[in-house]
Chain A
Amino acid sequence: MAENNLELTRNQKEVELFFGPNHPGMHGNFSVHLKLEGDTVVQAEPVPGFLHRGFEKLMERRLWMSNLALIPRICVPEPDINEMVYAMAVERLSELQVPPRGNWIRVLILELARINAHLMSIGGLGGASGLYTDMYWAMTERDWILDIFEKITGARVYHMYIVIGGVRQDLPEGIVPFILERLDGLERRLKEFHDLLYKNPVLHARLKDRLILNRSMCEEMCITGIGLRATGIPHDIRRVDPYAAYEEMDFDIPTGEKGDALTRGHLKLLEVEQSIRIIRQVLAKIPSGPVRQKPFGNALRWRVPAGETFEHVESSRGEYGYYVVSDGSEKPYRIHVRGASYPQGLYGVQRYMPGTRIEDVALWLGTMDFCPPEIDR
């Protein structure tokens, strides 16, 4: 039987391959069913669902307050954006005003989360291309950032710190010199990352002018974030539709020209630099005052006024949003998550992965900023 199959594939010159979570280069629990002709991918079918936990249904069955513990789990590398969009949606529907200090602390947390996610992604690039030094370095640097989270929020990965009305508690004493020290350390290392990765001939051979994501592809797929900025368009939700205190921040939006994988990787390092710049501004100019406006009485009986809203923020991978519908009861009526990597993860794989080579499949997913949990939800 097996011989017959082999005979058949030889004649057709086409091999089917399951590229799934068991592959060391795969980013998380996701799979792609590939058809190969020689080393070239001729057909790719995305098969998600390994991480489907029915978050949207679960959220409809929980109180507005109890959802705060659930939502960070939707996106593993960068959980804080979930808390942010959820809080923004409830605040908009119930017309809550967040105190200025609360907004500034939110910016601090979101930028730390961005650094965190970018470092993880830069490390993933090392894993997929065989440069494991880079992965170990990036994970170490990420751990230093997680220490800051632990001091501020009490948790390392899932913080549940951005809550409805502001943030859970004020910054602890003595945190400013601690953060500055960690940021100085990271900034010193960024140059080494640059030399290690983006001057590396191996990486140049594999990424430069390859795995292109050009402007028309971005428009077709509605891709946001680094993929879009690498083609030269400086679109950033923080700039076009500012939230929290981003209006008062002074930062640049790094862009590329070619839209190749090397540019996208390089932009991540430049964005980390910008995030550091924003955090320094926050620490220097943060206003004093309360950090939270307590919403409507007993947390177990919160009722959000009926209405609907779509909130979005700029995550490390692009536009991340929640569509929240309330019917005025104690639980959300419907929440729909817009994962930032949904377009490139499903449509992009199906449409644009064919034509790449088998060894580049993991790199393709890695450099397109790909995150399975937010696709499965």
Chain B
Amino acid sequence: MSPKKRVAMELDPLFERLQPAEVFFTPDGKQLFLLLEPERFMDGLVTLKNAGFSHLSLVSCVDWLERGEFELVYHLLRWEDGKRVALKVRIDRENPVFQTVLHLWPTARFYERDIHEFFGVVFEGNADREPLFLEHWDDIPPMRKDFDPQPYSQKIFDEREYQHPFVPHIVQANPDRLPWEETIDEAKKGGETNGGK
């Protein structure tokens, strides 16, 4: 039996209760990702927590720009046998609102605050929405796929003018040689004259 099927069978009774819309495996079949409908999602988390998956490793968010969706991923671990499962839910990208899981895992407060800051997802029931890492941020949330850092940094930071031209000047002067060869030669010359004195 392939490992894929073995995992699936061991989780079978749980599967039925969760009624996942889609199931994803890693190629070796050792990890399981269950996509749930938003209205079934909280029940699914409660079911898994009661089944021993009480360790919340991480709450992630993925921006699927082309599909117009955010995907929230809750990674759970059961310590007793080291089994892992991740529950996924898709929410609308234009109106990104989802329920909080604070009542199940109080520690999710900062994961949700993090996702709110970097993706703009609002978690109803989690009032903690102050920026955590970014200061004076005035653009769209930066981890979204349509945020491009390059124009942003060009807008915010002035282009610096260097007093001493860096590599291009040296390359132009001696196109056949690499810039550091010149430097090494100069250093050698300097060393000889100093040594002579």
Contact = CB atoms under 8 A, between A and B. Distances in A.
A215 interface: no
B26 interface: yes
Interface string B60-102: 1111000000000101010111101010000000000000000
Contacts of A334: 60, 62-63
B171 to A, nearest CB: 24
Nearest to B113: A346
Given A220-B107, A334-B62, A347-B107, A310 B133 contact: no
Given A52-B133, A95-B27, A323-B58, A235 B149 contact: no
B58 A338 contact: yes
Interface string A48-67: 11001010110001000000
B33 A222 contact: no
B143 A57 contact: yes
Of B56, B133, B142, chain A has the most CB atoms within 10 Å of the CB of B133
Nearest to B111: A342
Contacts of A376: 133
B81 A240 contact: yes
Contacts of B55: 222, 224
B56 A222 contact: yes
A310 B107 contact: no
Interface string A78-114: 0000000000000011110000000000000000000
B57 interface: yes
Given A241-B84, A310-B58, A54 B27 contact: no
A323 B132 contact: no
Contacts of A61: 149
Interface in B109-128: 109-111
A61 to B, nearest CB: 8
Interface string A232-254: 01010101110000000000000
Nearest to A376: B133
Given A310-B57, A310-B75, A321-B58, A342 B110 contact: yes
Contact of B84 (A57, A220, A224, A310): A310
Contacts of B80: 240
Given A92-B28, A220-B106, A319-B57, A241 B82 contact: yes
Contacts of B134: 49, 52
Nearest to A233: B79
Interface stretch (A124-132, A263-271, A301-309): A301-309
B58 A336 contact: yes
B135 interface: yes
B19 interface: no
A142 interface: no
Given A220-B107, A222-B107, A49 B132 contact: yes
A312 B86 CA distance: 13
B180 interface: no
A230 interface: no
A343 interface: yes
A240 B24 contact: no
Contacts of B57: 222, 310, 312, 319, 321, 338
B76 to A, nearest CB: 10
Nearest to B31: A309
Contact of B27 (A93, A219, A310): A93
A307 B26 contact: yes
Given A54-B142, A93-B26, A312-B57, A346 B82 contact: no
A333 interface: yes
A347 B79 contact: no
**Which 6 interchain pairs have the tightest Cβ spacing?**
A240-B82, A241-B82, A346-B110, A49-B133, A338-B58, A336-B60
Interface of B: 24, 26-28, 30-31, 33, 54-58, 60-63, 73, 75, 77, 79-82, 84, 86, 105-107, 109-111, 132-135, 142-143, 149
13 contacts: A52-B133, A92-B28, A241-B77, A307-B26, A307-B27, A308-B24, A308-B33, A310-B86, A321-B58, A323-B73, A325-B62, A338-B57, A347-B107
